[in-house]
Amino acid sequence: MSQVALRDRSAFERLYRATSAHLLGVAFRILGNRDRAEEVLQEAFMNVWNSAGGYNPGVATPMTWLINIVRNKAIDAVRSGKTERSSTVALDDEGMDVADADGLQPQELLDESLVKVNIDRCMSELNASQRQALALAYYRGMVHTDIAAALNAPLGTAKAWVRRGLDKLKSCLEAAGVTA
Amino acid sequence: MNYLLPERLDRLAREYALGTMTGRPKRRFEKLLRDSPQASRAVAAWQERFSVLAAGVPAMQPREQVWNGLEQRLFAPTKPAASRGPLQWLWDLLSVRTLGSALAGIFLCVIVLRSQPGLVGLETPSEALPASYVGLLLDANGKPTVLANSRRHGRQMTVKVLQPVAVPEGKVAQLWAFPAGASAFPVAVLPRLPAVKESVSFTLPDESEKLFSNVGRLAVSIDDAPARPGEAPPPAFALSGHCVKLW
């Protein structure tokens, strides 16, 4: 990252090659469309090149910093209605391929992630609604009103589910020694 | 309301980092973030926690066109005919004035940079002149003939033709670099040069910074074949001029 901050193009390409597949996955979960996710990925790396000097290794790991840029851009794209077009046209063949090959739902993504960081047992103390609310917020970039509508619950209840999920996530990570 | 009370700050930070904070509360919190390192740390801690949730997201290889587009947008040389790029002022200057000598142009660069130091770092990246190497090559009569530029960390060189350059059929225009205190070396063969006022770009064998960081002069010879690495330069050149750092 420090080399990228010094405008080293080859370091920038290495960073892109090493991280872009994972970051595209993050953007795709939120946008649900490969073309738009790739646009967001490209915009995010424009930001990375232009603001790598502002990256502070004492505050975040490089991957956390990158995920944050990509996720924020994807959420902005969703909320600014940029994906409206994609939601009103038929999926092309490639879109269908992607959906078929990897149709994981937010809840499944959450489960996969929790297993990988070994906090799945601790997080299992959450009920299904709490887990689902947390998953929709993180993997779909939904706000509380969206979550309430998606889960057919009152707004206050949806907020409480998310809050409970976050409390539990924090305590499980701390118990597992994953400090932030 | 005191947003910096630990419990309240933690609650706000996690909503912000998760993305569930919107509208006016989000704007208020972003203002707090600009002013409070404590708030920034709280958000960073939650972003780190959330990053574990990305661990289970399946990777998806982006198509190569994404990288190609990035390269194009970040590193492609300016095309003066298409749009007014960062070096347009220099192109314009050379087009509308009859420069007496290369020194005039180089003096101008020095004056501009010394009188407006903000050009080299104080503006936002999109407004600042990109750090570049610029060479103004003169013909045997001292007439500005070719303007070459390359971004400091780029691999593309753009050559603008200011006066016709005669490269006979079967010959090549070989670009040479003269580093201070070292032997001249062949850089690349120029592509077929376009008409006057037109530009052409080509790929350098290495990053400009590595090739030109110590180079004070560039020259072009018209030869039968491309020079081999390590080959000594010819005794005479068709074009020659100073190479300056534009930052």
Q: Quote the pTM value.
A: 0.56
For residue B59, the chain A residues in CB contact (below 8 A) are: 21-22, 24-25
Mutate to test the interface with B, among A15, A45, A179 (most CBs of B within 10 A): A45
Nearest CA to CA, how far is B116 from chain A (Å)? 22
Mutate to test the interface with B, among A166, A167, A173, A174 (most CBs of B within 10 A): A166
Nearest CA to CA, how far is B135 from chain A (Å)? 22
A19 — phi, psi (to 5°)? -120, -15
Asked whether B239 and B176 are in contact (CB, 8 A), the reply is: no
- At residue B78, the pLDDT reads 53
- At residue B94, the pLDDT reads 53
Mutate to test the interface with A, among B15, B20, B132, B213 (most CBs of A within 10 A): B20
Asked whether B65 and B109 are in contact (CB, 8 A), the reply is: no
Q: Which of residues 61-90 of A touch B (CB under 8 A)?
A: 61, 63-64, 67-68, 71-72, 75, 79
B206: nearest CA partner in chain A: A10
* Closest-CA residue to A74 (of A100, A101, A106, A36): A36
Q: Residue B52 and residue A104: Cα distance in Å, rounded?
A: 17
Verify whether the Cβ–Cβ distance A173 to B49 is below 8 Å: yes
Asked whether B243 and B216 are in contact (CB, 8 A), the reply is: yes
Helices B102-115 + B88-96 axis angle, to 10: 140
Q: Residue B193 and residue B166: Cα distance in Å, rounded?
A: 9
Verify whether the Cβ–Cβ distance A61 to B46 is below 8 Å: no
- At residue B124, the pLDDT reads 40
Predicted ipTM > 0.85: no
Low-confidence stretches of chain B (pLDDT < 50) are: 79-83, 95-99, 101-126
Instruction: Find where tokens 């910074």 sit.
Output: B209
Name the DSSP class of B171: -
For residue B8, the chain A residues in CB contact (below 8 A) are: none
Name the DSSP class of B119: G
A142: nearest CA partner in chain B: B20
Verify whether the Cβ–Cβ distance A139 to B22 is below 8 Å: no
pLDDT (tens digit per residue) in B6-41: 888 999 999 999 999 988 999 999 999 888 889 999
- At residue B90, the pLDDT reads 61
* Closest-CA residue to A141 (of A59, A39, A37): A37
- CA A62, A64, A69, A71: dihedral to nearest 10 degrees? 150
* Closest-CA residue to B14 (of A170, A35, A94): A170
Low-confidence stretches of chain A (pLDDT < 50) are: 82-101
Verify whether the Cβ–Cβ distance A180 to B207 is below 8 Å: no
Measuring CA to CA, how many Å separate B55 from each of A114, A124, A129, B159?
Answer: 8, 17, 21, 47
